[in-house]
Structure 1
């Protein structure tokens, strides 16, 4: 049978353990709040790098339909009567933006809600546009994609991004000052992938809706106050 002193010591030890557990919980909550604040600050900085980009019909594959405002693209349902030129994607349903970047920081968003298959990212100016184009860094493309229920990093062997919640708006941040391209769930303000790359030539925003009749659309980014 425990003595009174032993019971008191046992109670004190339980209280000490409870205090330490509460302290760890408070530390974890404080860290979470700090990370949220840090993420909010970084997100605000990224928003200040927002740019307006427009689709370039001269690069659009003949199976694509580009909207008149040059903001949306979808499968055209058949081959369109397009003029051949060296800028146009010959075989796959890809299109670039009119704007290219060689320095600085640039952020844009694309609404993909309703489109079950898409690829988005950036392409260097010299990336191949004819024949069999592989979306991979070696061939000049840095992109992520979605195919029905799977999100992946585009490469010669695509890399699964795991169990992400459904993304309705994709944010792409091209940070040429720090040699970084990052991809974000813009609605939830979460980064889903980033890659380090040092570009030696102009870089273009890249878009692909594959065979979807539902368009993907470049979406205006709210201006940070």
Structure 2
């Protein structure tokens, strides 16, 4: 059963990059009409890079913007170009592809990280929130040596995963399914079900170590 999580507990799980927590009115995000995202081409495998303009100042992109590494000190936020697409309080970055239809698969290699989140979020999600804490994002997370599925501030434990170095994500937009995939078998370990109504982006939260994304992949035969 899903368990509601308090704001303080979420900050412990997610490693928020601010030193204090306060209850505040969340600002509405007004993003530019002309965005950096591109639409998924029909009949092609989803291929994306990480979008630097969304990356929190503690995150550095590398490997031609397919990987992200967490820097404990990070950049001074005042030294990062200010724009409404950048996450301000949380170590989150989006992919540069928006998805509004179809079935898509990608994988993520995890290196030296003990706290991260992988999933999708609405392209217009508030940049004051962390992925998983609102009804605009759906993620699988890893913290305190345990996996969980998370959306709308609710956590559901995911068992029988362990800590693989590489996992897959399967998104079926019309069916409203986001699956965490064991790439070795392959099989879907856990499924999040939702009603997707607006364009989504691949979404990543990272509080130590690094992640490398692998897109443009065929969906494994065992999942079809």
Return the TM-score normalized by structure 2: 0.70
Equivalent pair of 2:131/2:139 in contact (CA under 8 Å): no
Matches within 5 A, 1:125-144: 125-130=123-128, 132-133=129-130, 135-136=132-133, 138=135, 140-144=136-140
The 1-side partners of 2:59 and 2:217 are apart by: 28
Q: Look up the SS of the partner of 2:174 in the other structure.
A: coil
The 2-side partners of 1:53 and 1:134 are apart by: 19
The structural deviation recorded for 1:165 is 2.7
The structural deviation recorded for 1:49 is 7.1
Q: Choose between structure 1 and 2: higher strand proportion.
A: 2
Q: Look up the SS of the partner of 1:133 in the other structure.
A: coil
Aligned positions, number: 174
Q: Which has the larger radius of gyration?
A: 1
The 1-side partners of 2:48 and 2:181 are apart by: 17
Give the match for residue 51 of structure 1.
46
Give the match for residue 56 of structure 2.
61
CA gap of 1:88–1:163, structure 2 versus 1, over 3 A, is same
Equivalent pair of 1:54/1:70 in contact (CA under 8 Å): yes
TM-align CA RMSD: 2.3
Equivalent pair of 1:113/1:167 in contact (CA under 8 Å): no
Give the match for residue 91 of structure 1.
89
The structural deviation recorded for 1:147 is 1.3
The 1-side partners of 2:178 and 2:149 are apart by: 12
The structural deviation recorded for 1:221 is 6.0
Give the match for residue 145 of structure 1.
141
CA gap of 1:50–1:189, structure 2 versus 1, over 3 A, is farther
The 2-side partners of 1:92 and 1:207 are apart by: 11
Q: Choose between structure 1 and 2: higher helix proportion.
A: 1
Q: Which runs of 4+ in 1 moved over 4 A?
A: 220-225
The 1-side partners of 2:80 and 2:98 are apart by: 23
The structural deviation recorded for 1:126 is 2.4
Give the match for residue 187 of structure 1.
184
Pick from 169, 173, 181 the counterpart of residue 172 of structure 1.
169
Give the match for residue 159 of structure 1.
156
Give the match for residue 68 of structure 2.
73
